C-alpha cells in the first residue's frame, strides 16, 4: 500500500491566499486556499477550499485516496461541497463528522474507485466554516490535512510539507517559521545584515541577520496564542528601512493523536469506554515511545546534514506521524519505525564534548584552553583533525590536543600569546570564550554597550556584546558580564547547544538516554545540556 500523507499547520493571518503544492509532479498535489482575512469575529463565516490535482494516468498509479481536513477548534463546519465529480455512495464520498467530544470537525473526501472520476484530474472541496459564538477576536486558525493514497503495486512512501508564515511589508519582507510553545528560537529570513528585535508586550530577543538574510534568535518560551512581533531594521543608501512581521505562538499539532484515535476506536467498536481504554493501554507504551521519537525528530536541527540524511529524518518523522493516526496499527510497523527513528536521531546527536573520564564529566570544573580547542576543532572539522602541526613552543606534538590546537589556530578560531605559547592548561575566561564563539560563528562586531563591567577599551568588548546580542551568552547578572571569571564546562555545553541550535529534548533524553556520569545528577541545572553535548 502506498501512502501519501501530509500533516501541516496552516496559519491564516495576514495572508490573502496560501496555495502551496505539496507533492511532486507525478504525485497527488493538494493545495489549501485560505480566506483573505486579517482576523475574524464570533459568528463570522470563513471559506476554505482544498484543491486536489491528480497526475497524468493516475488510474494506472493509484487505487484510491482519501483527503481529510481537521479544522481549528474555534471553527464549526456549516456546509461542504465538491466540484469536479459527482458523489457516489461507496465510490466518491464527502462527509463531515465531529471528533474530540464535538470540539472539532473532520471533513473527509474518499475516492474509493478512481474509475468514477471519469478522467477528471482536478477536484475542489469547499468547506464553509463559522467562528464559534464563544470565541473572541482571533487572528490565527490551525487546520490539519492528511492525504492518504493507495497505489497499485503495494509500495509505501511518506512525504511531509511544513508551511511557513509570511508577512509582506512596505520596505522589505520577513519570512518567519512557525513559533511553537516549545520553541527556543525565532528562525526566519529578511534583508541581509538587518537588526532584528523580537517583542511581545516587552522585548524578548534581539539579534542580526547574516549576509544572506538568515536569522535565528534565542527567545524565552512563550504560551499558546502569544502574539510576537518581529521587527527588522537596516540602512539602505543611508536611509533606515523597516520590515515587520507578526506571529502567533501555537502548540505543536497533537489533535490527530491519542485523543482522536481513542474517539475513533470508541465510535468504531461501540463498546464501553473503559474496555477500550484497557485495550489501548496494552499498546500505550509503544505509542508513547513513538510520539516521543517523532517529536524529537521534528526538533532536530541538522544544520550540516547532507541532503540525503535531511530527507531521511523528514521521511521517518512523517512515517511515524502516519502510524500514530493510522486506524489499524501493526506492532511490527511501530517497532520498526521507532528503531529507525532512534538510530537516526542518535546519528544527528553526535557528541562534541566528552567526560574527563568514563563516568565523570566534572561540569563544575573550569574549561581549559586545550579542551576548548578540541571542542571547536571537532565542531568545525566534523571529525578530530590530524596531521596539523603547531608552532607553539609549549604544545608538544605528542600531546592529545596538539592537532586540535594547530587546527583552531590555522582557521582563526583561537590564537596564542605574544611569547609564542598557547598555554593549553590555562583556565578559559568568559571573555576569551566569547571571543572564540565570535571567531567560530564569524559574527559581526557590535559596539553597543551592554554590560557595565565591560568598558569600551576592553580587548573583548565587541565579542562580548556580539555573543550577548545573538543570545549565545548572557551576563552573570542583568548588567554585569564578569569577563575575567572562568567559564565552567557545563556552561560551555549550554552555550554551544544554543549556538548550534541543539535544544535538549527532555522527553527523549528521559526515555532513551543513558547517563554514564555519576557526578551529573538530574537536579543539576545543566543535566540535559550535558547529556545533549555528549550525545548520551
Helix (H) / strand (E) element for 208: namely: strand 203-208
Q: Is residue 266 part of a domain?
A: no
Which pLDDT score, from 0 to 100, does residue 33 have?
73
* DSSP tag of 145: E
Q: Is residue 496 part of a domain?
A: yes
Which pLDDT score, from 0 to 100, does residue 282 have?
34
Distance CA 85, CA 462 (A): 65
- Cell numbers given for 142: 490551525
Tell me which of 130, 159, 188 is where a domain ends: 159
Radius of gyration of the chain (CA): 27
Buried b (16+ CB within 10 A) or exposed e, 252-270: ebebbbeebbebebbeeee
Distance CA 494, CA 292 (A): 22
Which pLDDT score, from 0 to 100, does residue 434 have?
93
Q: Are residues 384 and 507 in the same domain?
A: yes
Which pLDDT score, from 0 to 100, does residue 345 have?
87
> Which is nearest to 175 in space by CA: 304, 311, 302, 14?
14
Q: Is residue 315 part of a domain?
A: yes
> Which is nearest to 84 in space by CA: 129, 56, 114?
114
Residue listed under C-alpha cell 568598558: 455
The domain that holds 235 is classified in CATH as 2.60.40
Q: What share of the chain is helix, strand, coil (3-state, %, to 5)?
A: 30, 25, 50
Please tell me whether the overall predicted TM-score, pTM, comes out greater than 0.85 for this model.
Answer: no
Q: Is residue 225 part of a domain?
A: yes
Q: Is residue 35 part of a domain?
A: yes
Distance CA 443, CA 508 (A): 32
Tell me which of 159, 193, 212 is where a domain ends: 159
Distance CA 146, CA 256 (A): 10
Distance CA 191, CA 234 (A): 8
Q: Residue 198's pLDDT band (boundaries 50, 70, 90)?
A: very high
Q: Are residues 436 and 465 in the same domain?
A: yes
> Are 517 and 355 in contact, with CB atoms under 8 Å apart?
yes
* DSSP tag of 209: -
Q: Are residues 375 and 513 in the same domain?
A: yes
Average confidence score pLDDT of the chain: 77
Q: Are residues 152 and 77 in the same domain?
A: yes
Distance CA 491, CA 371 (A): 13
Distance CA 223, CA 219 (A): 12
pLDDT digits (tens, 9 = 90+) for 415-443: 999 888 999 999 999 999 999 999 999 88
Q: Are residues 476 and 448 in the same domain?
A: yes
> Which is nearest to 533 in space by CA: 289, 357, 509?
509
- Cell numbers given for 28: 497527488
User: Does the pLDDT at position 49 exceed 70?
Assistant: yes
Helix (H, G, I), strand (E, B) or coil at 192: coil
pLDDT digits (tens, 9 = 90+) for 255-285: 333 333 333 334 344 443 333 333 333 333 4
Q: Are residues 335 and 374 in the same domain?
A: no
Q: Is residue 438 part of a domain?
A: yes
Distance CA 307, CA 326 (A): 28
Q: Are residues 56 and 114 in the same domain?
A: yes
Which pLDDT score, from 0 to 100, does residue 489 have?
92
Which pLDDT score, from 0 to 100, does residue 100 have?
65
Domain hosting 93: range is 31-159
pLDDT digits (tens, 9 = 90+) for 143-155: 778 788 888 776 6
Q: Cα–Cα–Cα angle for 48, 52, 57, nearest 5°?
A: 170
Which pLDDT score, from 0 to 100, does residue 140 have?
66
> Which is nearest to 361 in space by CA: 250, 231, 520, 230?
520
Whole-number Cα distances in Å, 516 to 98, 117, 335, 509? 49, 60, 26, 13
> Which is nearest to 509 in space by CA: 350, 296, 283, 324?
296
> Are 231 and 196 in contact, with CB atoms under 8 Å apart?
yes
Q: Are residues 202 and 310 in the same domain?
A: no
Q: Are residues 220 and 71 in the same domain?
A: no
Helix (H) / strand (E) element for 241: namely: strand 239-248
Distance CA 379, CA 502 (A): 13
How many domains, the chain? 4
Q: Are residues 441 and 379 in the same domain?
A: yes
Residue of 17 and 155 predicted with greater confidence: 155
| Angle at which helices 273-299 and 258-269 cross, to 10° | 150
Distance CA 137, CA 42 (A): 7
Q: Are residues 231 and 304 in the same domain?
A: no
pLDDT digits (tens, 9 = 90+) for 494-511: 999 888 888 888 889 998
Bridge partners (DSSP) listed for residue 255:
none
Distance CA 528, CA 416 (A): 33
Whole-number Cα distances in Å, 390 to 324, 382, 406? 54, 20, 5
Distance CA 341, CA 347 (A): 10
Q: Are residues 376 and 517 in the same domain?
A: yes
Which pLDDT score, from 0 to 100, does residue 139 have?
54
The domain that holds 140 is classified in CATH as 2.60.40.740
Which pLDDT score, from 0 to 100, does residue 170 have?
40
Q: Is residue 23 part of a domain?
A: no
The three-state (H, E, C) secondary structure of 172-206, written as one string: CEEEECCCECCCCEEEEECCCCCEEEEECCCEEEE
φ, ψ dihedrals at 293, nearest 5°? -65, -40
Which pLDDT score, from 0 to 100, does residue 303 have?
59
Amino acid at each position: 500500500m502506498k501512502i501519501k500523507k501530509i500533516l501541516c499547520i496552516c496559519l491564516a493571518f495576514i495572508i490573502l491566499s496560501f496555495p502551496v503544492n505539496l507533492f511532486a509532479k507525478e504525485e497527488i498535489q493538494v493545495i489549501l486556499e485560505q480566506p483573505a482575512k486579517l482576523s475574524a469575529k464570533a459568528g463570522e463565516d470563513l471559506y476554505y477550499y482544498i484543491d486536489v490535482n491528480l497526475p497524468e494516468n493516475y488510474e494506472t498509479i493509484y487505487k484510491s485516496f482519501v483527503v481529510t481536513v481537521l479544522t481549528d477548534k474555534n471553527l464549526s463546519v456549516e456546509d461542504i461541497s465538491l466540484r469536479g465529480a459527482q458523489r457516489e455512495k461507496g465510490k466518491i464520498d464527502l462527509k463531515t463528522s465531529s471528533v474530540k467530544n464535538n470540539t472539532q470537525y473532520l471533513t473527509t473526501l474518499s475516492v474509493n474507485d478512481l474509475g468514477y472520476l471519469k478522467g477528471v484530474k482536478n477536484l475542489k472541496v469547499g468547506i464553509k466554516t463559522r467562528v464559534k459564538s464563544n470565541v473572541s477576536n482571533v487572528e490565527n486558525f490551525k487546520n490539519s490535512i492528511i492525504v492518504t493514497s493507495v497505489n497499485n503495486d503495494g509500495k509505501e512512501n511518506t512525504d511531509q510539507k511544513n508551511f511557513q508564515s509570511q508577512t509582506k511589508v512596505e520596505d522589505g519582507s520577513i519570512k518567519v517559521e512557525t513559533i511553537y510553545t516549545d520553541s527556543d528560537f525565532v528562525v526566519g529570513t529578511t534583508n541581509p545584515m538587518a537588526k532584528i528585535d523580537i517583542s511581545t508586550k516587552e522585548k524578548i530577543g534581539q539579534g542580526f541577520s547574516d549576509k544572506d538574510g538568515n536569522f535565528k534568535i534565542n527567545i524565552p518560551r512563550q504560551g499558546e496564542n502569544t502574539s510576537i512581533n518581529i521587527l527588522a531594521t537596516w540602512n539602505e543608501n543611508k536611509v533606515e528601512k523597516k520590515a515587520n512581521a507578526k506571529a502567533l505562538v501555537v502548540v505543536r499539532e497533537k489533535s490527530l493523536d491519542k485523543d482522536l484515535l481513542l474517539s475513533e476506536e470508541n465510535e468504531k467498536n461501540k463498546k464501553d469506554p473503559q474496555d477500550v481504554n484497557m485495550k489501548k493501554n496494552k499498546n500505550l507504551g509503544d505509542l508513547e515511545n513513538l510520539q516521543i521519537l517523532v517529536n524529537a525528530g521534528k526538533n532536530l536541527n541538522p544544520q550540516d546534514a547532507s541532503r540525503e540524511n535531511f530527507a531521511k529524518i523528514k521521511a521517518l518523522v512523517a512515517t511515524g506521524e502516519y502510524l500514530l493516526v493510522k486506524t489499524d496499527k501493526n506492532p511490527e510497523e511501530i517497532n520498526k519505525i521507532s528503531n529507525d527513528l532512534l538510530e537516526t536521531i542518535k546519528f544527528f546527536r553526535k557528541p562534541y564534548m566528552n567526560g574527563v573520564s568514563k563516568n565523570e564529566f566534572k561540569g563544575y570544573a573550569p574549561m581549559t584552553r586545550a579542551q576548548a580547542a578540541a571542542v571547536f576543532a571537532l565542531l568545525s572539522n566534523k571529525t578530530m583533525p590530524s596531521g596539523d602541526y603547531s608552532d607553539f613552543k609549549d604544545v608538544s606534538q605528542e600531546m592529545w590536543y596538539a592537532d586540535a590546537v594547530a587546527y583552531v589556530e590555522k582557521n582563526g578560531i583561537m590564537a596564542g600569546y605574544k611569547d609564542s605559547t598557547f598555554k593549553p592548561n590555562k583556565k578559559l575566561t568568559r571573555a576569551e570564550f566569547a571571543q572564540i564563539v565570535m571567531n567560530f560563528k564569524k559574527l559581526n562586531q557590535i559596539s553597543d554597550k551592554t554590560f557595565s563591567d565591560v568598558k569600551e577599551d576592553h580587548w573583548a568588548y565587541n565579542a562580548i556584546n556580539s555573543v550577548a546580542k545573538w543570545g549565545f551568552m548572557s551576563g552573570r547578572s542583568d548588567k554585569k558580564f564578569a569577563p575575567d571569571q572562568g567559564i565552567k564546562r557545563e556552561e560551555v555545553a549550554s552555550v554551544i547547544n544554543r549556538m548550534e541550535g541543539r535544544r535538549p529534548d527532555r522527553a527523549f533524553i528521559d526515555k532513551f538516554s543513558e547517563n554514564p556520569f555519576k557526578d551529573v545528577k538530574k537536579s543539576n541545572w545543566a543535566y540535559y545540556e550535558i547529556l545533549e553535548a555528549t550525545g548520551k
